[in-house]
Structure 1
Amino acid sequence: MNRRFSYFGKKLFQYTLVLFVAISINFGLPRLAPGDPLLYFFDESTIKELTGAQKQEVLDSVGLGGTLWEQYIQYLKGIFTWDFGTSIKYAQPVTEVIADKLLWTVTLILPALLLSAVIGVIIGAYSAWNRGRKRDIGFLTMMLTFQAVPGFWIGMLFIAIFAVQLGWFPTYGAVSIVQDGTTWGFIKDVAWHLVLPIATLSIATVGSNYLLTRSSMLESLGQDYMTMAEAKGVTKKTLIFNHGLRNALLPIYTQFTMSLGTLIGGSVVVETVFSYPGIGRLLYESVVARDFPMMQGVFLMITFGVIAANIFADLTYPLIDPRAKSSAVHKGGQ
């Protein structure tokens, strides 16, 4: 028991240290970027006419007034009170804007990640079992192609073919301007707008899931217990999924949980291509507008998401592979 507490105590200290470093970097990076946030409020000629007091008043209103040290202290206080300041672009509290966009991002990213993981794992396991054969080479070539093609190019291709040429799906946005006013009609409209973005994200990320699964499965298939199971006449399906994939699942699970950690950041490229009102597009617009409070808020949410995903993975590893539990106890006693 003491070993386990020692292990998780070290982990907690590591995560706390990482969080402190991350939030400090998060504070500094936007301020190192070129550009003056006053340019979003005024043009250059107007800025030249403003007095120093007037400029300071505008900067104070969005949390950018005072020295860097004063801003940093205010920034840390805001984290503990969940107050990230006021957005320069939206003139609203950062937390309110993020909360408004977050549901759209979760609605887009979560199905895409699940779909990509399921397809990548199934095809990767099947390809590994048929290693060296034509079907394996065919799947490997296809997935490497998906991995190499930029996500924005896939999205633009889908828009050109399925939205513009065929007219099957909307070209942009999350909902139509005109709706029938019913709940079911709203749900169908949202789902129809999600088809192309989800397909784009799934294709753009399925390659990495496939390659990791195939690599892990190839290592697992070479173990003695697989040879013994095959010699006993175990069926092909049982060999692949109950013996091989189960023992190769840990790195696959790690990648999936890390993907969940970045979920809150959305997909900047895909959301921008499809003009989707999520966190990714919000981050892009904030960078363009030099909206420091909003950039800090979004980056901080991404940081929290990644650390939470790491903690979740550490806690749930023993459910995937009992060997992880004994390894954690052993490390805690060192």
Structure 2
Amino acid sequence: MPTTKTTVDYAIALSAILVLNFILPRLLPGDPLQAIYGDEALMVMTPAMQAELIHRFALDQTWLEQFVAYIQALLRADLGYSYFYHTSVVSVIAGVLPWTLLLTGLAFVLSTLLGSLLGIESGYQRGSKQDGHLLGIMMFISGFPDFFAGIVLLLIFGVWLAWLPLSGALTPYSGFTSLKLVADIAQHLTLPLAALVLVRLTAAYLFSRGAMVGVMGEPFIRTARAKGCPNIAIRYRHAARSALLPIVTAAGLSFTHVISGVLFIETVFSYPGLGSLLYKAVLTRDYPLLQGILLLAAVLVLLVNFVTDLLCARLDPRLSTPSPKARRDDHAYPV
């Protein structure tokens, strides 16, 4: 179980997220009314009409009044009303959230599993040609931004070879059902998913390889070899199990990068998820929608990190129980 200090840290992080989530959209340049209705509509509006719209959208209140109302609405699970879509933010997000969860979940699982597996194999064969080649490839890939990898894959497989769709999550007006619908979704998902996995598996690879390199020099590995244990048993039953803690930690940390990558990749491929919705919200200065999307992404990252801490404490109970020296130090130097 997490310690009290850990719980307090997460509470402070959540409070900071709420404050930043409220302030940052309001620092964007431009006028919300202009973004919503356009220059031509504002030119024909009377000052009274503009004042009525400003009052309706609560833009005439101070930031403090808006923040208090924002927190009160969050306690009621109300994310506000979208200026641009003229409906509740919850309903707008709910319409695109399944697509983002599908893309994010698959990218996270595949990049973690594939990167960890390659890292375990590479670390076990440290110094070999296979390890050198794989390490060089991963270091080269790690320098690619998500959107760059997406653009390259889009040009090669979508434009030049024309093997896969260029954008969207479904073929419009196709009327597909059953297995044809699943195949159509998979075709549209392939390129954005490949771009995310290609860039994000390097973190899991490097962490798992480093953990394996450290474990391979331990005495219990030499003992297992002296007993004649098969290589696969040494690699996975002994070494990989001992390296599980840093691998789980790396997976939790990489989820933040997967979320940020998804927001860019969805824009590149016009994938109908939170990333595309965030881009439209920025263009239209839709403050409630911006706040809702950013809050959801931040809370999701915070939740995954919290679950990662729980798993790490389960794998190594010493992480959740401070040592006697640490307890003495806490009493000696109270904060």
TM-score, normalised with respect to structure 1: 0.89
Change (3 A) 1:227 1:62: farther
Match of 1:325 in 2: 317
Given the alignment, which residue of 198, 202, 222 partners 1:203?
198
Are 1:19 and 2:14 counterparts? yes
- Partners of 1:109 and 1:266 within 8 A in 2: no
After TM superposition, list the pairs within 5 Å mapping 1:32-111 onto structure 2: 32-44=27-39, 47=42, 50=45, 53-111=48-106
User: In structure 2, what residue type is equivalent to 1:184?
Assistant: L
Question: Residues of 1 paired with 2:54 and 2:213: CA distance?
Answer: 57
Per-residue CA deviation, residues 93-122 of structure 1 (Å, 9 max, x unaligned), is: 111111111100111121121111111111
Mapped to 1, the partners of 2:103 and 2:267 lie a distance apart of 13
User: SS at the partner of 2:279?
Assistant: helix
Q: One-letter code of the match for 1:326? A: R
Structure 2 CA distance for aligned equivalents of residues 44 and 165 of structure 1? 40
SS at match of 1:233: coil
Matched residues in 2 for 1:170 and 1:269: separation? 18
Q: Is contact 2:203-2:250 (8 Å) kept?
A: no
Deviation of residue 205 (structure 1)?
Answer: 0.6
- TM-score relative to the length of structure 2: 0.89
Indicate if the aligned counterparts of 2:116 and 2:208 stay in contact, CA closer than 8 A. yes
Residue 61 of structure 1 and its aligned partner are, at CA, apart by 3.1
48-57 or 171-180, which moves further after superposition?
48-57
Aligned to 1:304: 299
The structure-2 alpha-carbon separation of the partners of 1:296 and 1:266, relative to structure 1 and needing over 3 Å to count, comes to farther
Letter in 2 for 1:275: S
Give the distance between the partners of 2:48 and 2:217, measured in 1 at CA.
72
CA contact (8 A) 1:265 1:299 kept: no
Q: Which amino acid aligns with 1:228?
A: T
Q: Is the 8 A contact 2:249 2:308 kept in 1?
A: yes
Q: Which residue type is aligned with residue 203 of structure 1?
A: L
Residue 254 of structure 1 and its aligned partner are, at CA, apart by 2.0
Q: What SS does the corresponding residue of 2:3 show, helix, strand or coil?
A: helix
| Aligned twin of 1:295 | 290
> Any idea what the Cα deviations from partners look like across 1:253-306, whole Å, max 9, x if unmatched?
123234446766671221111110011121122122221111111111112112
Cα separation, 1, equivalents of 2:205 and 2:42? 53
Q: Distance in 2 between matches of 1:82 and 1:178?
A: 35
Give the letter aligned to residue 190 of structure 2: V
Per the alignment, residue 143 of structure 2 pairs with 148
Larger mean CA deviation between 289-298 and 231-240 belongs to 231-240
Task: Indicate whether 1:186 and 2:181 are aligned.
Answer: yes
Give, in angstroms, the shift of residue 180 of structure 1: 3.9
CA distance in 1, matches of 2:261, 2:202: 19
- Partner AA of 1:93 in structure 2: S
| 2:131 aligned counterpart, secondary structure | helix
Deviation at 1:151, TM superposition (A): 2.0
Q: Distance in 1 between matches of 2:260 and 2:195?
A: 17
CA-atom RMSD in angstroms: 2.3
- Superposition deviation, residue 49 in structure 1: 6.3
Deviation at 1:72, TM superposition (A): 0.5
Relative to structure 2, which stretch is displaced further, 137-146 or 221-230? 221-230
Cα 1:138/1:16, change in 2 over 3 Å: same
1:81 and 1:262 map into 2 onto residues whose CA distance is: 30
1:192 CA displacement: 1.3
Write out per-residue CA displacement over residues 188-211 of structure 1, whole angstroms, 9 at most, x where no aligned residue: 211111111111111011111111
* Separation in 1, partners of 2:255, 2:145: 21
CA distance in 2, matches of 1:42, 1:198: 36
Q: Which amino acid aligns with 2:117?
A: I
Match of residue 244 from structure 2: 249
What are the ranges of 5 or more consecutive residues in structure 2 without an aligned counterpart? 328-335
**Partner Cα separation in structure 1 for residue 48 and residue 63 of structure 2:** 18
The separation in 2 between residues aligned to 1:53 and 1:12, in whole angstroms, is 50
* Corresponding residue SS for 2:171: coil
Q: Percent identity?
A: 33
C-alpha contact (below 8 Å) 1:265/1:301 kept by paired residues:
no
Displacement of 1:80? 0.7
Letter paired with 2:309: D
Q: Is the 8 A contact 1:62 1:85 kept in 2?
A: no
CA distance in 2 between partners of 1:187 and 1:146 (Å): 30
